Structure formats: structure tokens, C-alpha cells
Amino acid sequence: MDDDGSRSLNKYEFSKAMNDFMLGFNQAQISALFDYFDVDSNGTISYDEFLRSVRGPMNMARKKIVAQAFKKLDKDGNGWIDINDVRGVYKADKHPDVKAGKKTEDQVLQEFLETFETAHAMRNNDAPNYVVTKEEFDEYYNNISASIDDDMYFMTMMNNAWKLTEESRQGQGTKGWSMDSSQPRAKQDNNIFNRPVVKSRPPGGSSGTEGIPQTATEAQILEHIQKKIAARGARGIAGIGKKFKIADDNNNKSLDKEEFKKAMHDFRIGLHEKQVAIAFDIFDRDGSGEISYDEFLRSIRGEMNS
């Protein structure tokens, strides 16, 4: 469908695809469909826009657990989530940018809130205001849900991310960006691509606690990355889109070798330099020398659907 390799569909490509698939639409209907799929009205349809439109909103079971998460975040019960609600859930004082003096704690918390507003704002041509409504929260998870086939995995992801069950809450303190081991959620959920301090590995054939030898095969390297990301639950999957953009230093919507290497470091995957190079070649499915978000997402989702 994507004839020009732009990682999006223009009107001609979309119209051609509708005809090639013999869906029976006339040109006026195809034009109306294109406008519906083109959520941000930029004249092209991205993979995420296409997937969200085809899959539609969440089913009732998923909506129910998302509502539980929203209720938990809405500390004062006023029907929306603002910075006062998240201050009691997330601590930003140990965030790398706060410690470096680049951002204030409020700015970091606002960025967290903006994550949940973006999808809804794009569909409705709104600007983020750092106040998350239930509708915005639902739309955020509509987009996440579209790329997850299994209901059980979605439920587990939500429980792990928001500690909705007693079992998932055991042993977890206040969420934050602290590197303190008493706050394991900080490492798993809030430091994705956030430039944390990386501890040096011991010399030799293994990567210490990361548990992957230098002699690992391509399949073992890929499985290792998949498991590391899967272990992060919703913040590992839902946060990838935003953090991928952060890692994309030159803003070209893909990662080159240096950006990917830095991302693997910041993801705390625990690969040796040569293994990072191997992983890059695995993820670079089209051999273009760059990794798109779609290539990255498709690679890591293999293990999650098994």
C-alpha cells in the first residue's frame, strides 16, 4: 500500500488500496473514508491512524479496567486528572532533567499529563491543557488497545501499570524517577529513554545481572529485548511512542544507529556494543539503515502475542 515508502498513505495510495482490495467503495466514499482515517488532517494516513480506525474503540471489558485506572488517578474525585492528582502518585524530584536543572518538577508532571491528552487532542484539534478528562484518558487507551489483540494481556498490562489489584500493589511505594531500589516502579515505568545513569558492567563474557552472554544468537538477543520491554507493562508499551520521539534526536521519525544505541542504553536492556549492532540490523526490517517506530513496535510485539 505504501508505494513511496513514506510510512504513510497519501490519497492516491489509499484510493488504490481500496480498489486493490476490491472493497466496493465508489470514489466519493473512498474520499470520505480517507478524511475519517486522516485523524490529524495532515493529508496522509499514518500506520497508527490506520490501525486505530480499523480496530475501533476498546471493548467493554477493556473500558472497565481503564475506568478503574482513571478513578485511581483522580484522587479528589472531581472527574478529571490534574497536576494535584499526580503529585500524590508520581515523584519528579529525582527525574534526570529535574536533577540537571533543565526542567522543574511541575514541567515533568505536565509532560506526563500531556501524554494522555495527545491522542484526543489530535482527533479534535485541541491543544493540551494538562487537565486529563475521562474522554481523553479513554482515547489514549483506545490507541494502545488497537495494537493489543489479547484481552488478557491488556488486563495484565493495566494491572501492572496502575497497581489495580492487591497482588500487584504489594511491595510498591510511591512512583517516581528515583534510582532508589525502594522504588522499583521508577526504574520499570518512568525512566524509559530518560537518560538515567547506567551502571558499568563487569568485564568478561556476560553482562552481569542482565543475563545475556556475548555469544548470544540473534534469536536470543531479540527475545531478551522483548522480555525486557514486556516486563515494563503499560509504561513499556504505552510510553514507547512518546519516548521513541525523545530518542529521535534529529526528528526524522526514525532512529539511526547512534540514536538506537543510545535508546538501548537508556532502556536499560543490557546489551554489549556488538549485540546492539546486531539488534539494529534485526529491527531494521527494510534494510534502510534506520528503524521506524512501526518496525520497532512490530519487532517487540512478537513475544507478547505468543
Mean pLDDT in residue range 130-143 = 92
List all residues 6 or more positions away from 292 whose beta carbon is below 8 Å from its beta carbon.
7, 253, 254
**C-alpha to C-alpha distance for 95 and 115, rounded to whole angstroms:** 17
Q: What is the DSSP string of 60-71?
A: HHHHHHHHHHHH
| CATH of the domain spanning 212-304 | 1.10.238.10
Mean pLDDT in residue range 294-306 = 61
Which among 248, 267, 242 has a CA at the least distance from the CA of 108?
242
Q: Tell me where in the chain the CATH 1.10.238.10 domain(s) lie.
A: 8-55, 60-189, 212-304
Question: In Å, what is the CA distance from 238 to each residue of 154, 265, 276?
Answer: 11, 19, 23
Q: What is the pLDDT of residues 189-202, one digit of tens each?
A: 333 333 344 444 44
Question: Mean pLDDT for the chain?
Answer: 77
**C-alpha to C-alpha distance for 278 and 291, rounded to whole angstroms:** 13
Mean pLDDT in residue range 266-294 = 84
**pLDDT above 80 (res 45):** yes
Q: Are 222 and 299 in contact (CB under 8 A)?
A: yes
Task: Please give the pLDDT value at position 245.
Answer: 65
SS3 95: coil
Q: What would the grid cell of residue 144 be? A: 494502545
Task: Please give the pLDDT value at position 193.
Answer: 36
Reported as half-sphere exposure (CB side, CA atoms, 13 A), residue 181 has a value of 0
pTM over 0.75: no
Q: Are 269 and 119 in contact (CB under 8 A)?
A: no
Task: Please give the pLDDT value at position 164.
Answer: 86
Fold of 8-55: Recoverin; domain 1 (1.10.238)
Count of other CB atoms within 10 angstroms of residue 212: 20
Mean pLDDT in residue range 83-101 = 85
Task: Please give the pLDDT value at position 246.
Answer: 64
Percent of the chain surpassing pLDDT 90:
21
Q: Which CATH architecture has domain 60-189?
A: Orthogonal Bundle (1.10)
- Cα dihedral 36, 39, 41, 45 sign: negative
Mean pLDDT in residue range 145-160 = 89
